[in-house]
Structure 1
Amino acid sequence: MKKRLLVTALLLSACSQLPSERNAAPAEAIIAPTQIVPQQAEEDVVANSTTAEAVATDFEHIFVDADMTFSGTLPCADCPGIAYHINLFRDGRFEARQEYLERNQVSIVKGIWLLEKRSLHLVNQQQTLPAFHFVSNNQLAMLDLGGKPISANPQYQLQREAEFKKLDTRQAMLGLYMLSNNQATFTSCRSGDTLSVANTQHHLPVMRQYQQDERFSGNAVIATLVGRRGQDEQAGTLFIDKFEQFWPGAICPDHVQPGKMQGIVWRAEKLTDRYVPQQLNVRVIFDQNERLYGFAGCNNFNGNYKQRSNQLTVQPLVSTRKFCADSSDLEQQFTKSLQSADRAEVNGDKLQLFKNNQLILQFKPAVN
C-alpha cells in the first residue's frame, strides 16, 4: 500500500514540472495541434455579416458591381405620376424609361452614370433626369433641389428589382412614313431620326394600306403608331407593335406656322374644364379642303367644316360604331362639343374652340 501511494505521488509531481530541454521538441509537437481552435472561422463569419456591411456603409461607399434595375413612380406636378424604369450597367452606362402617366408620353434616355459616394447622377446631354441617393443597395431616394435625399417620403423612392429587367422601349410615335420598293422609312417628328422599318407581321398591313391609297403614291405621309427602336446593331431599325392611322395632309408640328390651324394633328387636352386622359389619343385634323377627321378615343370620325376668319362651323360627323367602356362617355361629350363650336383661335401652341364665348375644347399639337 505504501509503495502504491509513493508511485502516485511521484507521478503527480512529474506533471507539475517543466519539461527538460531534451524533451522540449516532442512536447511542442503534442501541444501544437491544440492551438488550432475555431476562433479563425468565427472571424470569417463576422467579416461577411450584416454588422461588417454596416461598418462599410458608414464610410458612405456604394459599389455598382452588377447590372441593376430600379423602378417606381415619382410625383408629377401636373399628372398622376412619372413611372421610371432605370437600368444601371456595371460598365458605367445607364438607360431609363420615363413615362408621364395619362399623357401618353414616354421618353427613352441613355447615357452614363456618375457615383459620388452615395449620390447617383444620370448624365445625358439632351435631357435632364433626377439625381438620386443610395439609401441602400436596394433603394434610391430622389435628391431635392438642395441636393439632399428625400428619404423620409416613400413616394420619392425607387426600389431595386430582384432580377435585372430589360428595358421596354415601346412608345407612341408620330412621324413621316414613306414606302419605296417594299422598303419603308419612318422619320420621327420629335427627334428627326430616320429609321428603316422592319418587315414584320405588324408592318405588312401598313404597307398594304399605303399602296392602296392613291393620294400617297410614293410620298411621305404622317402616321401615328406604337413602336420600338432596335438595340445595338439594329439601332437604326423601327419595329412596329401597333399601327394607328395615316394623316394625309398633315405636317410635323415643328413646321407649324404661327396661328395656323390646318394641317396639324391636334391632340385634345381639355374638354371644358376637364383634362382628357392622354392615353385615349383623342385627336383631330382640319385639312385644307374643309374636311376634318380624327379619333375620339374609341371610334374614328370624319366630316366637313367651314372657317371664315375665326368663325367655325362643323357639320354633323360620321363615325364608326364601336363601344368602349372606358371612353364612350367622354367620346360622346367630345364629338358633341366639336360639332357645337362656333369659333376657333390658335393661341401660341394651343388650338381653342369656343361656343358663345365659352371655352369648350382645347388642343395641343400631337408629337406622338
Structure 2
Amino acid sequence: MMRSLARYGRLLSLGAAFALAACAAPAAGPGGTAEQLAGTTWRLDQLNGQPAVALPGDGAPTLLFAADQPRVSGNGGCNQFNGQYTQSGEALRMGPLASTRRACVDEAGNRQETAYLRALESTTRFSATAEQLLLYAGDQVVARLWRNEGSTS
C-alpha cells in the first residue's frame, strides 16, 4: 500500500510539474507560422508606438512576404525595398534590405521611411492573426501592420 501511495505521489508531482511548465511557457501567438506570412501583404498602422504618417498618393508603407521563397518586399512610403527573411516558429529576421533612393516629398515621410526600414531589420520575432501582424525587436513592438485586402491566406 505504501509503495502504491508513493508511486501515486510521484505521478501527481510529475503531472503538476508538466502543468506548471505548460503555464510558464510563453503562449505561441495565434498564427505565428510561415503559412500565415507567405503570400501576404501588410500595411503599416503604427511604428514604434506612433501612428503611421499619412503620405500623399498611395505612399503607405507596405510589407509583402513572397509566397514561394523567403523574400520580403514593399514600399517604405517613398521607395521600394526588398530583401530576404528567415523564419522559425515565432522568430523572424529580415535583411539586409535594399531600397531605391528617391527622396520623399515631405520630411516626415523621409523620417518615417528610415525608421520603418530600421524597424524591419531590427525584427527578432512576430505574432500574427488573420488581420494583424506585430513585429518585435526583443520584447518591444516596433511595428503594427494590418493585412491588405485581397492578400492571400
Larger RCO (alpha carbons 8 Å, 6+ apart): 2
Following TM superposition, by how much is the alpha carbon of 1:272 offset from its aligned partner in structure 2, in angstroms?
Answer: 1.4
Residues 261 and 351 in structure 1, CA contact (< 8 A), matched pair in contact too? no
Task: Pick from 92, 105, 121 the counterpart of residue 339 of structure 1.
Answer: 121
1:41-64 Cα offsets, whole Å, 9 max, x none, are xxxxxxxxxxxxxxxxxxxxxxxx
1:14-53 residue pairs with structure 2 within 5 A?
none
1:277 maps onto 2:44 in alignment: no
Residues 350 and 363 in structure 1, CA contact (< 8 A), matched pair in contact too? yes
Task: Pick from 82, 88, 91 the counterpart of residue 308 of structure 1.
Answer: 88
1:358 maps onto 2:140 in alignment: yes
1:263 maps onto 2:36 in alignment: no
Determine the structure 1 residue equivalent to 2:66. 287
Deviates more, 1:286-295 or 1:331-340: 286-295
Determine the structure 2 residue equivalent to 1:296. 76
Residues 76 and 116 in structure 2, CA contact (< 8 A), matched pair in contact too? yes
1:104-133 Cα offsets, whole Å, 9 max, x none, are xxxxxxxxxxxxxxxxxxxxxxxxxxxxxx
Following TM superposition, by how much is the alpha carbon of 1:366 offset from its aligned partner in structure 2, in angstroms?
Answer: 1.6
Higher helix share: 2
Following TM superposition, by how much is the alpha carbon of 1:361 offset from its aligned partner in structure 2, in angstroms?
Answer: 0.5
Please tell me whether Structure 1 or Structure 2 has the larger radius of gyration of its CA atoms.
1
1:48-63 residue pairs with structure 2 within 5 A?
none
Determine the structure 1 residue equivalent to 2:98. 318
**Identical pairs, percent:** 29
> How does the TM-score come out when normalised to structure 2?
0.68
1:365 and 1:349 map into 2 onto residues whose CA distance is: 5
2:130 and 2:50 map into 1 onto residues whose CA distance is: 20
> How does the TM-score come out when normalised to structure 1?
0.29
2:89 and 2:64 map into 1 onto residues whose CA distance is: 18
Unaligned runs of 5+ in 1: 1-257
Residues 130 and 147 in structure 2, CA contact (< 8 A), matched pair in contact too? no
2:130 and 2:83 map into 1 onto residues whose CA distance is: 26
What is the SS of the residue equivalent to 1:277? coil
